């Protein structure tokens, strides 16, 4: 078994790396252990070491749906790049590494004359995160276009290939475990016009600029939509826009977005979510469920 010290010596593993810069909220403390993998050989070396026996493992994508505790994350954080950020086309199919940003996937597919993946341009996450959470917007979800995903168990070293049914894809959920790493995914599109695809991309990005608080520190939708309603519309109807805790407030542009100031802490973000859940339940009887992920909190 490869020792932790040898991984540190070759630079594959680092200690106490701040995680805030890797998230869209820019808050949070350091990871006890941090590994950035650029090749499949890096992955093989990591799983051959004792570091993967850490009680807590976090796979970090683009940090667009994540809040890290101010005290940091006590386990192993894994981030992919390099070979895991490549895209290949075969007919109407698109094979993408899990580190590929979803907007890049959407644009590259359109340029290749493949339709059906345009909705991904409106999601600021990565392919791996989309598979893990069945990400979606504008009436489409990852499962609608996903053929299969390659998933690696970091504890056992075993790999599996799974489609949407095997992944148990539901609304913003799957059965991908915390100790599992999505390495790639294959999507099925259809023949499309490049010009029509570009027009669709432009329409989606324009909508986002008009309706969402761009240019701010936020992590997208904070809460999942309750059945038969929009979480943002519910919060807005209850008059809770502008509610704040410290340097974090409910966006006046989109009520399901929390906007953080440069001095905001992760504890303030968590406190505002708890306050919002309490207020909404008291006022409407609806219990909101979190869509963003909080890690490192006790």
Backbone angles phi, psi at 40, to 5 degrees: -70, -25
Q: 223: pLDDT confidence band, cut at 50, 70 and 90?
A: very high
Out of 27, 221, 249, 267, the active site residue is 221
- Catalytic residue at 160? no
- Catalytic residue at 172? yes
Predicted local distance difference test score (pLDDT) of residue 26: 97
The answer to whether 117 touches 109, Cβ cutoff 8 Å, is: yes
Q: What is the mean pLDDT of residues 49-59?
A: 91
What class does CATH assign to 85-210? alpha beta
Angle, helices 102-111/194-211, rounded to nearest 10 degrees: 150
Task: Give the CA angle between residues 213, 214, 217 to the nearest 5°.
Answer: 85
Q: What is the mean pLDDT of residues 167-179?
A: 95
Predicted local distance difference test score (pLDDT) of residue 291: 96
Average model confidence (pLDDT) across the chain: 96
d(CA 93, CA 107): 14
Predicted local distance difference test score (pLDDT) of residue 3: 87
d(CA 173, CA 195): 33
d(CA 126, CA 6): 30
Out of 118, 180, 268, 291, the active site residue is 291
Q: Report pLDDT digits (tens) over 112-128.
A: 999 999 999 999 999 99
Q: Report pLDDT digits (tens) over 74-105.
A: 999 999 999 999 999 999 999 999 999 999 99
Out of 172, 249, 266, 267, the active site residue is 172
The residue extents of the domains of the chain are 4-80, 85-210, 231-295
What class does CATH assign to 231-295? alpha beta
Report whether CATH 1.10.260.40 matches the domain 4-80: no
- Catalytic residue at 188? no
Out of 66-70, 210-214, 254-258, 270-274, which region has the weakest mean confidence (pLDDT)?
210-214
Backbone angles phi, psi at 41, to 5 degrees: -65, -40
Q: Report pLDDT digits (tens) over 189-216.
A: 999 999 999 999 999 999 999 999 988 8
DSSP 61: S
pTM of the model: 0.94
Classify the C-alpha dihedral 142-143-148-149 as positive or negative. positive
DSSP 217: B
């Amino acid at each position: 078994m490869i020792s932790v010290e040898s991984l540190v010596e070759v630079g594959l593993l680092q200690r106490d790396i701040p995680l805030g810069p890797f998230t869209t909220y820019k808050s949070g403390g350091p990871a006890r252990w941090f590994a950035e993998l650029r090749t499949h050989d890096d992955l093989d070396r990591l799983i051959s070491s004792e570091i993967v026996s850490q009680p807590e493992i976090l796979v970090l994508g683009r940090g667009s749906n994540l809040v890290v505790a101010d005290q940091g994350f006590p386990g192993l954080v894994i981030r992919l790049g390099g070979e895991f950020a490549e895209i290949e086309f075969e007919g109407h199919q698109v094979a993408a590494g899990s580190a590929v940003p979803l907007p890049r996937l959407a644009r590259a597919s359109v340029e290749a004359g493949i339709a059906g993946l345009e909705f991904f341009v409106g999601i600021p996450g990565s392919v791996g995160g989309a598979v893990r959470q069945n990400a979606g917007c504008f009436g489409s979800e990852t499962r609608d276009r996903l053929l299969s995903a390659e998933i690696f168990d970091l504890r056992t070293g075993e790999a599996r290939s799974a489609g949407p049914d095997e992944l148990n894809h539901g609304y913003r959920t799957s059965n991908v475990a915390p100790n599992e790493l999505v390495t790639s995914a294959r999507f099925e599109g259809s023949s499309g016009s490049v010009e029509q695809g570009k027009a669709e991309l432009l329409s989606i990005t324009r909508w986002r600029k008009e309706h969402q608080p761009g240019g701010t520190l936020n992590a997208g939708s904070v809460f999942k939509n309750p059945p038969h309603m929009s979480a943002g519309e519910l919060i807005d109807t209850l008059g809770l826009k502008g509610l704040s805790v410290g340097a974090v407030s409910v966006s006046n542009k989109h009520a399901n977005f929390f906007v953080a100031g440069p001095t905001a802490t992760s504890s303030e973000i968590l406190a505002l979510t708890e306050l919002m859940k309490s207020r909404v339940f008291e006022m409407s009887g609806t219990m909101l469920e979190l869509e963003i992920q909080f890690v490192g909190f006790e």
